[in-house]
Amino acid sequence: MATTAPTGSPLSQPSLTHPPPPRKLTTVKALSESPGLSSIPSIYTFPKQTYHEPVSDTKEPIPTIDFSLLTSSHPGQRSKTIRELGKACRNWGFFMVTNHGVPERMMKAIIEVCREFFELSEEEKRGIGGKHVLDPIRFGTSFNESVDEILCWRDYVKIFQHPEFHSPKKPPSFRFVVVQIYLPSCI
């Protein structure tokens, strides 16, 4: 039995393992829940650089900064904590904060209301905020989707709280929870 080679370039053939980048920008949540997606689209992946080393091979724990030590009355302790913070930023790019004073019930409340926000329909989320980087409420995946060559594999909501308080209208509980956390004297 004779077989024929497919026509066209390999890039023109549909593939479930390497889906084409979305034509219309969509939320990462919607994209990740789409049927048939088996890998992250190339528009969301950075090319591997020779100087990139995997961080997962490290035996070091994620850096933890004790916020209460940054406000310590002992200058030596503050200086040591600031050096640790600088090292965490240089070597890891992130860190965990403890003793920050935010009660656990409030942290759980903000996580839940953010979950409610991200469960809204894509249209509801897109209609919530502006598109400019300085808009007080903004929802998106990357900072500048029209310019960025590679998009971030995340969805975010950014809300300015100072000098003026801002909050999305949906879900309705969002404003209440954020006011409880940031402006307790207002409720």
- Confidence grade of residue 24 (pLDDT, cut at 50, 70, 90): low
pTM over 0.75: no
How confident is the model at residue 182, as a pLDDT? 63
Contacts 24+ apart (CB under 8 A), 20-26: 25/141, 25/145, 25/151, 26/122
Spatial distance between the Cα atoms of 125 and 67, rounded to a whole number of angstroms = 33
CA angle 38, 40, 42 (to 5 degrees): 125
Residue 115 has which token pair?
């979950």
SS3 for 111?
Answer: helix
Q: Could you tell me which residue, 24 or 70, shows the higher pLDDT?
A: 70
pLDDT digit string (tens) for 61-107?
899 999 999 888 999 999 999 999 999 999 899 999 999 888 888 88
Task: Using alpha carbons, list the distances in angstroms from residue 177 to 21, 54, 116, 119, 173.
Answer: 36, 38, 12, 17, 6
